[in-house]
Structure 1
Amino acid sequence: MIDPQWANARNILVMRLDNIGDVLMTSPALRAIKENLPEARLTLMASPGGAQAASLLPSIDDVIPWRVLWQDIGKLDFDPEREWELISQVRDRHFDAAVIFTSFSQTPHPAAYMCYLAGIPLRLGESKEWGGGVLTNEVRSAPDEIHQVERNLRLIESVGFEVSDRSLCIQVPSAKHSANALLLKHDLATDAPYLLLNPWTSCQSRNYAWDRFATAARRLAEITGWQVVVTGMEKDRDRSVPLLEALKPHAIDLVGATSLSELAALVAGARLVLTNNTSTMHIADATRTPSVIMFAGTEYESQWQPRHAPTKLLRQPTECSPCYSFTCPYQLECLDIPPEEVVAAGLELLERLYPAFQGDKGGWVR
């Protein structure tokens, strides 16, 4: 049974202040809130990057993009007025409640204090440390190794929300037409099978070597006869040039050419995805797209791994894992994986999932 105070909430602020993948991991919890309180309006507050994920989340009604001071790594200027402006904007929306989603390494207390100052009466969060009265509903922290989806669901279950589905939930229909148009520009029919390669992440410590990715993707393209759709952000354009050159004539270059929704539609349409542990991995899990994931030793697999899509996670065990580092001071030994292993993992998935696929006999049998 829902806590009586929370049962009356109709205007709820949900906060996840990290990146796209972190926001996507809240989708089962957001869906559960909507299912329990169908008349409630949910507003997502996220970082400017993470806020892009709102377009994929059917439970979200509005979004507040904001780079918060308490998760800044030294890039924000000294500007107290900016913080008062945030409080003012939140106060003006007259929220009934705030749900503060965090990872195991974060505290909800700065966010909860901001919500307190903005007049939000109900404030829910999970914490390892005592934070005074800034949270009205506090959940003691789960073990660090717990999956992030379960951490989020555990939070809302603590106030009585029932959860009917614990899988990721995204929407992509509105982007399918524009994604198909991008493929048609490269002479790929909308019903043609393709591989999708998303080779980059936002931090160096999670990037599998681009030349190895290119070798693996090229070999899979040769075996299957499929094109390789290469995706990435605009900032990845320059470093993608040698990779795209190595993939000729199999590559379809969409680096910097897609919105997040279009990327999700492309992932949903792929026969196989090759990527690192990044937001594309979570999109593939949500769309049940088979994936080979180069999973760096930066985190426990149990915290972030796909749970529903057919997936092969590849990484080498290392003593320094989990390091939670943005850059590797060593030689990325955790991702020292020969391209042949990537190819073998991809073929294993294809042969298991698609009975018409004969990897040793020339690819896809139509």
Structure 2
Amino acid sequence: MKSESTLADKKSDANAPLFPEVARKRPRSMLVLRPGAMGDVLLTTPALRALRLGFPESRIAALVTGSGEAILRGNRNVDETIVLDKSSLRSQLGIIWRVRRGRFELVIDFLCNPRTALISACSGAPYRLGYDVRVRRVAYNLKKPRDEYREGRKVVKYAAEVNVDMVRCLGINGAGTRLDFEVSERARSKIDEFLRSHSLETGKLVGISPAGSWPAKTWGVRKFAELADQIGGETGCAVVIVWGPGEEELAKEMVGAMKTERVMACRTDIDEVGALLERCAVFISNDSGLKHIAVAVGTPTATVFGPTNPVTWSPPDPRHRAVYADVDCLFCDRNECESMVCMKKLEASDVLPIVKELLGEKERGLA
């Protein structure tokens, strides 16, 4: 049994890795735990890339949910995906048994919720890395503080950077925070045919998605429609309304609310929506998984923020702009809100100038 290690055990300087003994042992197999939304999985891909660079001969598996499996399809840094089926107690016990049979030498839990902590604890791995949080800390023998403080203040970082920090503590250098997402030629061919059938030009296409995973971080269909009308009238760009599973009626509602020419995207899988976003000059949305796919394929983004913090959920890159109203309760991190003041105070006219700037930079080759 490996002895437990925590930050308090380390006497060296703050930049030294917390657990360099793991890199020296060269684990032959490792499991990354990151079930959750597709954006959360995408934000873990830089850490997966760093693991592959640090352990090129190791077998790397990732435990994800269904959308996460689609995000990692084609990712060269992952040898195996295990899909977490939460439909029954029996299915979850089956996952625990499968993980244990995998004989992983290192487990890294990027989520550290009760379910993933249990999977970590039952994995049988000699090294189990997770955050040093109450109760769940017992699942890990390598404990990393969840939060970083400087001069008594909590440091807020881009989520991809936070994930890379988890790997760095093992003595593995990071490989940047670029998000990895593979778009297939099959998907590109389908989307190019769709664009041709609607006489849409790649350089003159703005994608908009009005959907959001939380009610509190959703700007609203009518405001997105108003913005789309302004874009169509003032930039000469065509607007394509992008939608995913369960969002078709919302997309149709936006089509009905618009006055200018608009196109509703065809039904797509995750690969195909990546190809569509790749063809857009700019993509506009709430803070959502589609926004992270746009970032991954290199499309400039304008993202409406309210309860969530853009420092955490947008890359520190001028091609990706955060738009939000000036209200006292901003970045409250609430899932639901009665007043929705942060969304109500933001107008289409506040967002349009940023979209124009991004389009201008794209034309000049700066974005």
Q: How many aligned positions are there?
A: 341
Are residues 1:181 and 2:193 paired?
yes
Give the equivalent residue in structure 2 for 1:352: 361
Is the Cα contact below 8 Å between 2:207 and 2:277 reproduced in 1?
A: yes
Are residues 1:326 and 2:335 paired?
yes
TM alignment of 1:1-366, pairs within 5 A: 3-6=20-23, 7-55=25-73, 57-67=75-85, 80-102=89-111, 107=112, 110-129=115-134, 131=136, 133-143=138-148, 145-174=156-185, 175-188=187-200, 191=202, 193-247=204-258, 250-254=261-265, 257-296=267-306, 298-308=307-317, 310-355=319-364
Is the Cα contact below 8 Å between 2:46 and 2:175 reproduced in 1?
A: no
SS at match of 2:143: strand
Segment drifting more, 270-279 vs 242-251: 242-251
Is the Cα contact below 8 Å between 2:49 and 2:175 reproduced in 1?
A: no
Cα shift at 1:28 = 0.9
Cα shift at 1:67 = 4.8
Cα shift at 1:110 = 4.6
Q: 1:337/1:157 Cα in 2 relative to 1: closer, same or farther (>3 Å)?
A: same
Q: 1:82/1:67 Cα in 2 relative to 1: closer, same or farther (>3 Å)?
A: closer
> Aligned partner of 1:344: which letter?
P
Cα shift at 1:158 = 0.6
Tell me, in whole angstroms, the C-alpha distance in 2 between the residues paired with 1:94 and 1:168: 29
Q: Could you state the TM-score of these two structures normalised by the residue count of structure 2?
A: 0.84
SS at match of 1:234: coil
Is the Cα contact below 8 Å between 2:287 and 2:304 reproduced in 1?
A: yes
Q: 1:314/1:5 Cα in 2 relative to 1: closer, same or farther (>3 Å)?
A: closer
Q: Could you state the TM-score of these two structures normalised by the residue count of structure 1?
A: 0.84
Q: 1:328/1:67 Cα in 2 relative to 1: closer, same or farther (>3 Å)?
A: farther
SS at match of 1:232: coil
Give the equivalent residue in structure 1 for 2:151: none
- % of aligned pairs identical? 21
SS at match of 2:207: strand
> Aligned partner of 2:192: which letter?
N
Gaps in structure 2 of 5+ consecutive residues: 1-16, 149-153
Is the Cα contact below 8 Å between 1:147 and 1:304 reproduced in 2?
A: yes
Is the Cα contact below 8 Å between 2:85 and 2:92 reproduced in 1?
A: no
Cα shift at 1:159 = 0.8
SS at match of 1:22: helix
Q: 1:42/1:302 Cα in 2 relative to 1: closer, same or farther (>3 Å)?
A: same
Give the equivalent residue in structure 2 for 1:361: none
Is the Cα contact below 8 Å between 1:108 and 1:127 reproduced in 2?
A: no
SS at match of 1:329: coil
SS at match of 1:45: strand
> Aligned partner of 2:289: which letter?
S
Cα shift at 1:100 = 0.8
Gaps in structure 1 of 5+ consecutive residues: 69-75, 358-366
> Aligned partner of 1:254: which letter?
A
**Deviation readout 1:113-148 (Å, 9 max, x if unpaired):** 323323222211122336565212111122463321
Is the Cα contact below 8 Å between 1:108 and 1:126 reproduced in 2?
A: no
Is the Cα contact below 8 Å between 2:74 and 2:182 reproduced in 1?
A: yes
Is the Cα contact below 8 Å between 1:195 and 1:221 reproduced in 2?
A: no
SS at match of 2:263: strand
Is the Cα contact below 8 Å between 1:3 and 1:159 reproduced in 2?
A: yes
Cα shift at 1:84 = 2.1
Is the Cα contact below 8 Å between 1:109 and 1:135 reproduced in 2?
A: no
> Aligned partner of 2:20: which letter?
D
Cα shift at 1:11 = 2.2
Tell me, in whole angstroms, the C-alpha distance in 2 between the residues paired with 1:281 and 1:302: 14
> Aligned partner of 1:217: which letter?
A
After TM superposition, which residue ranges in structure 1, 4 or more long, deviate above 6 angstroms? none
Cα shift at 1:239 = 2.4
Q: 1:322/1:249 Cα in 2 relative to 1: closer, same or farther (>3 Å)?
A: closer
Cα shift at 1:262 = 1.3
Tell me, in whole angstroms, the C-alpha distance in 2 between the residues paired with 1:67 and 1:290: 34
